[in-house]
Amino acid sequence: MPEEQRAKAASLMVVGVDNYDDALWKLQQGVGGIFITSWANPELLTTPGRNIVALREAVGRPFSVSIDYEGGRVQRHEHVIGSWLSPRQMATQMTPQEVERYATDLGNVLRWHGVTVDFAPVLDVDAHGLEVVGDRSFSTDPVQAGEYGAAFARGLAAARITPVFKHFPGHGQASGDTHHQLAVTPPLEQVLAHDLPPYATALPQVDGAVMVGHMVVPGLGDGRTPSSLDPAVYRLLRSGDYPGGRPFDGLTYTDDLTGMRAITDSHTLPQAVVAAVRAGVDQPLFSSGGALVAAIDALDEAVTRGEIPTERLDEAAYRVQLQLLRTGA
C-alpha cells in the first residue's frame, strides 16, 4: 500500500532537532529517530513537559534519540550530561576494563536523560595527526584502537545505549576533513591493513551499529563516490570480507548528510538520502531537517519507480524496528 511504503521510508530517517516543537513535528512526519544537535534547546534533556519523556507520551510510538557523546572534544550539552575524558585520555589513563565501567556510567547518564543511541565510539586509527581525528581516536595502533573501542561500546550497551562505531571504513588516513571537502583515503590495501582491524576486533563483541563515513576509497567501488553512498562499502561491511572480519547484519547509519561538504557540494538532501538507501544504508542521518518532507517523498518515489527495490526498503525498516525493540525506545 502506498501509505505503508511512505511510512517505512519515513521510519528510516534520523533527523536533527532544534527544540520540543520541532522534534514533535518531525516525529509526526513519521521519522524513526531524532538527533540531539549541539544547537538544540537543552529543554529536550531537562524540562518536564518539554523533554524526551513528554515527546514519547505525545507521539505514542517508539523512536530513537541519538547524540554525539564521545568524550573530550565531542560531547554535546556537556553542561547537562557532564564532561568526560577524550578517547585518547581514556586509553592513556585506563585499562580496557576501566573504560568499560566509565562508559557504563556515561551510558546511565545518557539513558536517564532519554537518549538511546550514542554516535560513539570512534574506531578511526589516528595515523597522520589529522585534526578531525586526533584525540577522538583511542590510539595510533589499530589493535589498541579496536580493544578500547570495544570496551567503550560494551559499557554503553550495558546501560542499554546503542553504541555506533564510526567512521567505517576509516577516516584516520584520509586526505582531509569531510566536514569541509571530499576526502580520499589511501588505496584499499592500506585501508584493509590499517583502518579495518578495529572493526574486526569490536563488531563481534557488541550488539551495536555502524556509521559509514564520507571518504572515497580508491580501489573500492568506482573510486569517486563517498563511502556513505557507495554500494561496495556496504557490501564490504556486510560480508566481513576484510582481514579478521565477520559478516555484519546490524543497523547502519550514514554520517551527517547535511552538515558536511563531502556530500552537500554534490547532492541535495533528497538526492543523498535516495543514494544512501540505494547503496545499502538503513538510516540516513541529517542534522538539518528543512528538506525532511522532500527527502521522505524522494525515497518513497524512488521505491515506487523501482529505482530502489521494495526488499531494500523492507530490510532497512526491519532493522530499524528491531533495534528499537532491543533498546526499549
283-328 tens-digit pLDDT: 999 998 789 999 999 999 999 999 999 999 999 999 999 999 988 7
pLDDT at 14 (0 to 100): 98
Residue 294, domain member (yes or no): yes
Q: CB atoms < 10 A from the CB of 318, how many?
A: 12
Domain count, the chain: 1
Q: Domain containing 301 — which CATH number?
A: 3.20.20.300
Give bridge partners of residue 211 from the DSSP assignment.
253
Question: What domain range is 238 assigned to?
Answer: 12-327
pLDDT under 70: residue ranges of the chain: 1
Identify whether 255 is a catalytic site residue.
yes
- Residue 108, phi then psi, degrees to nearest 5: -65, -40
Q: Are 228 and 180 in contact (CB under 8 A)?
A: no
Identify whether 179 is a catalytic site residue.
yes
Residue 4, domain member (yes or no): no
Residue 1, domain member (yes or no): no
Among the options 124, 195, 255, 282, which is catalytic?
255
Q: Is the pTM of this model over 0.85?
A: yes
Residue 41, domain member (yes or no): yes
pLDDT at 182 (0 to 100): 86
> Among residues 168, 112, 139, which one has the least CA distance to residue 280?
168
pLDDT at 1 (0 to 100): 62
CA 21 distance to own-chain centroid: 24
pLDDT at 290 (0 to 100): 80
Residue 315, domain member (yes or no): yes
Q: Going by DSSP bridges, is the β-strand pair 33-36/14-17 parallel, antiparallel, or unpaired?
A: parallel
Residue 7, domain member (yes or no): no
Among the options 18, 22, 177, 179, which is catalytic?
179
Residue 6, domain member (yes or no): no
Residue 251, domain member (yes or no): yes
> Among residues 174, 163, 165, which one has the least CA distance to residue 133?
174
The span from the CA of 180 to the CA of 172, in Å, is: 16
